[in-house]
Amino acid sequence: MSAQILDGKKVAASIREEVVAEVAALKKKGVNPKLAVLLAGDDPASVVYARSKEKSCQKVGIEFSLYVLPGSVTDSEMLDLVGRLNRDESIHGIMIELPLPKQLDKKRMLEAVLPVKDVDGAHPFNRGCLFSGAGGLSPATPQSCIELLLRSGVEIKGKHAVLVGRGETVGKPLILMMLNQNATVTVCHTKTVDLAAQTRRADILVVAVGRPNMITADMIKPGAVVVDAGINEAAGGICGDVDFERAKEVAGLISPVPGGVGSLTTVMIQKNLLKAIELQGKSL
């Protein structure tokens, strides 16, 4: 019997309805939510992501400004722009598209964004809030994993969650998010001995490594919940880190790629924008 599908598009549509209602309520109070996205260079994937965010924002009534900088931009030029956006009270959220041109100091750029405008949850202050449970702005992709589970009726509390991948973008923040949901967490990575033995123990298996079809059916406990947060280009198109076609015959619930976690990321950034407005005291 095939697994039930964790439908990211359906969950995203539900969250989008909430965003539309919250945006309308803010506008009645005279607040016009606005997101600024900085794009340095012409990385094709980044251009596509930026434009998709613009379209998504237009659909929910969020104002959007895209700042396109040349690939030759210097640290000081970009920092100057970030500083101006930080001071601009009409801008409620700032997001820097990655990857950045090689000459830019990525860490310095991300840390230049005001924590209360950091809708990507990349600033060390927001990472610290995640660690302490203080309620800052959280990274969109790991947040999407949690929302996909909770809104699909999956109970995380008390479950054994095995995370494959310890990257800065997904894995590390997700460790804390899972702990905050009272899961028992095991983290696997490139130095893990006998990965399959670990993954077969998982009630909830989350994979974010960027290796196509790395997790095979025999690595999954029958009936487990499988969340695939990977995205890879393959000969047949986009695929995840899990061998979906075979894994769905073993898992109880599984997220597809595309149509799973990735469907939520943009709307979670919008949710973060609304939270940023609250943190900035703009909603009063």
The radius of gyration computed from the CA coordinates of the chain, to the nearest angstrom, equals 19
Q: Does 166 carry a binding-site annotation?
A: yes
Say which residues have a Cβ less than 8 Å from residue 198's Cβ, sequence separation at least 6. 162, 186, 188, 192
Q: At 276, which amino acid appears?
A: A
SS3 48: helix
Measured CA to CA, the distance from residue 35 to residue 174 in angstroms comes to: 25
Token pair for residue 176? 């804390």
| Alpha carbon of residue 131 to chain centroid | 17
- Residue 31: phi, psi to the nearest 5? -105, 125
Q: By the 8 A CB rule, do 165 and 209 touch?
A: yes
Is residue 231 annotated as involved in ligand binding? yes
Residue 255 backbone dihedrals phi, psi, to 5 degrees: -95, 135
What tokens does 188 get? 């696997």
SS3 238: strand
State the residue for tokens 């005001």. Answer: 114
Amino acid at the residue 127: R
167 labelled binding-site residue: yes
Count of H-run helices and E-run strands, the chain: 10, 11
Query: Which residue positions form the known binding site?
Result: 165-167, 231
Query: Which residue positions form the known binding site for NADP(+)?
Result: 165-167, 231
